[in-house]
Structure 1
């Protein structure tokens, strides 16, 4: 884009090149200069009624596009974002939160500026607990390095970052070493550990007759959907997904048995998974919603593989130096055994029987009707509660 930068334009340029073409938020006095730069940039600002709405919108955007962003003012705006950012952290959604803050010069003469809570670092201290990088861009000499460090963490861990710019530094010129955004190294796993991990998986599978894969949202976060499908088809192994991981593999795939979860799964799916003699959980955090009884049972006998972005655990031990993405790709490339076909739970697509004019409205009829409206362009957003649990039976077409 341009060759001369300020702290503000450098940040926006990096974000645009990483795929952030829309940013959500509400202007406020500590961030007005940055909003002016957003107006002049290719990034489109989408206004919201509240800051937490901006945070949840940025989260949804990130889940679809791989990066999301929100821009708000200091404390009165930023602290209203904590719940949304914490949700993005818990569910691995790469959201960039940008906040303005009081200028460095005005802090010297007036230590009690409006919107401040306790001291000038309070907001950053709060977000440090729910982000993978928390940065205040208060030095033009280190701004590029700090921006790139934070963005690299965003891309590597698929979790939120916090960037704060004092309002008197937004237009401060910076010298840049590169006009390109940072890149995450393609492979950082220890080759010997990765080879050993895959060999151990092969050994477990070779003694199995009823293996099953349970896939979660991290498959989508790290862009591994194609690799997952290839792994399933190569091994000819049935696959279930968690509720959060719904649609990481096509829901009309012949080996996809549906959503597994103690609170939302159909009984026949729960029974099928819990009857497995080897369980590969890939990219899923096993919470009380999943209630994976099979995992606990098989773990005791050393028949589990639990791979997430936080750790790779096989049987009773962990491989600390193996990255999740590398592990999935290595499994695909490995000569793992293929298994004979076996009877799968029957598909129970949502049936829609048009009710009579006097009939009561039921969840089955409502969601059966909605299921008939879905196509490969539809994005479904379900609120927590009955809507989310009932939506587990909707068929995602892609």
Structure 2
């Protein structure tokens, strides 16, 4: 008896002929790029280095698009954004030692935000593996150890025959919910040696679904259907799972108000009658969520920012749907459901009852009015006007990438992303320098839409070298730099805590002249002309820098009573 899978495994005559007669002049690097192509990759990011040259030489014999950045950490941020935008694993090619280590902060952000990144690093020659000190350039006694606490999985290759399987296993790991960065290291001699192995053909590395247990979703559906005051917190897991449509249908069926976390921006329509928007750092919002008798948390670990700095103390029953097992019930006792958000929401939609509640929209309107009154009392017109100008200038379908800067902190709470998976920031790990290189990765992923990056002058200096990348590849990114003369948010924190700020003031360049020295147009704008200048820049193909000299203030801490 012949089974279908037997037919799949039997090579054709042409496949046999190709396997017996591989093209000459290939090395281990070719096995890397052939495997990436076979897995479905089309674009790779990175930076060459001495031990990694076999991989980079092989790129010219492949159809992969290469986007080379100037700093490994920025290449990691670009790959992170590519993964977020496409939902595909973004290959990141790195060298050994210093080159690899420089990517660590970006990989930490990818891990915190569940962005699929396939980092492939070179390693010292095979003879040097296994500890000891052999005196190789770039040598680390245990390179894996530097990454094991950051990425989802690590994979070391020792022979050429291991390359396709190791990369396939890493690819599957990166794309298994929760998505995340993975690490593969390949010794220099393995990459450089000529290979007689057949060319790598397309491979299936489809990740396993993280399926909810039916008895748990049945109980969750019962609790939600019979709740008096249900509410929903939607996190980044909803966005990564492409589950915003299912979330909306569930909320409408339950008449449950929905707040999105800062990582979950766009998971629920901003102006929907049930939308509490993203005002998580506000006591009024915290009070409403605490008052819910059943609170559904989807795709969030309820970490520091999502719990209003751990002041959130739910009084009702909590249901937590989370693909990351380590985050399940890590901060609050709950009915924990380990599952991909999309699959769990689908299961709930099949069993939950309609729950009429004409009062829910009114409770939402009342909450948002209280938030608005609170902000209005703080005389922050400049900040609100600047954010509104950015929103009006940015086309609805265009993604935006925000560095750790005061305007981004405002955007977390107050910016309407308008579409799912369009607003991204570095709030997962909180490192500086994310906005601009991430925007470059998004522009490489989808050249049909202009992309916005937002940085402060401090964060901008982390990634200024990538203006050369933007110019070289003609990437359609408009970079808004808000120049307040230093690390503005740290200046506020230190002044509030100690009465004065230390180490926050910065000498900085003329950003407009600096951009122009890279061949990138620069515009100096004002709050009054920001909308027009941004709109023009976003409508102009290629990179542009828009500089806004302005000192913005944060709204007052809102996790305190009063």
Q: Secondary structure at the match of 1:307?
A: strand
User: Which segments of 5 or more consecutive residues in structure 1 lack a partner in the other structure?
Assistant: 351-359
Residue of 67, 73, 76 corresponding to 1:46:
67
1:366 has 2:386 as partner: yes
1:71-95 Cα offsets, whole Å, 9 max, x none, are 1111020011111111211221111
* CA contact 2:157–2:187 (8 Å) conserved in 1: yes
**Which residue of 180, 201, 217 maps to 2:236?**
217
Q: Is 1:88 paired with 2:110?
A: yes
Q: How does 1:145-294 map to 2 (within 5 A)?
A: 145-156=165-176, 157-170=178-191, 171-174=194-197, 179-186=202-209, 194-262=213-281, 265=282, 268-291=284-307
Deviation (angstroms), 1:30 = 0.8
Per-residue deviation at 1:164?
Answer: 1.1
Alignment partner of 1:15: what SS?
helix
Q: 1:268 Cα shift?
A: 4.3
Once the two structures are superposed, residues 295-352 of structure 1 have per-residue CA deviations (whole angstroms, 9 ceiling, x without a partner) of 6333xx5x110111124669655456x55543222112223332323212366799xx
Q: What displacement does 1:186 show? A: 4.2
Give the CA deviation at 1:259: 0.3
Q: Residue in 2 aligned with 1:356?
A: none
Q: Secondary structure at the match of 1:202?
A: helix
Contact 1:231 1:332 in 2 (8 A): yes
Task: Note closer, same or farther for the CA distance 1:368–1:317 as it changes in structure 2 (3 Å cut).
Answer: closer
C-alpha distance in 2 between matches for 1:174 and 1:255 = 58
1:331 maps onto 2:348 in alignment: yes
Per-residue CA deviation, residues 100-123 of structure 1 (Å, 9 max, x unaligned), is: 122325879x92111113x2xx21
The correspondence for 1:132, drawn from 141, 145, 152, is 152
What's 2:135 paired with? 112
Query: Aligned equivalents of 2:53 and 2:151: distance in 1?
Result: 24
User: Which region of structure 1 is more displaced relative to structure 2, 361-370 or 17-26?
Assistant: 17-26
| d(CA) in 2 for partners of 1:173, 1:231 | 55
Tell whether the 8 Å contact from 2:291 to 2:314 is kept in structure 1 after alignment. Answer: no
Q: Does 1:305 align with 2:315?
A: no
**How many residues are aligned here?**
374
* Superposition deviation, residue 247 in structure 1: 0.7
Preserved CA contact (<8 Å) 1:12 1:41: yes
1:59 maps onto 2:95 in alignment: no
Q: Distance in 1 between matches of 2:51 and 2:61?
A: 18
Calculate the aligned-residue CA RMSD, in Å.
Answer: 3.1
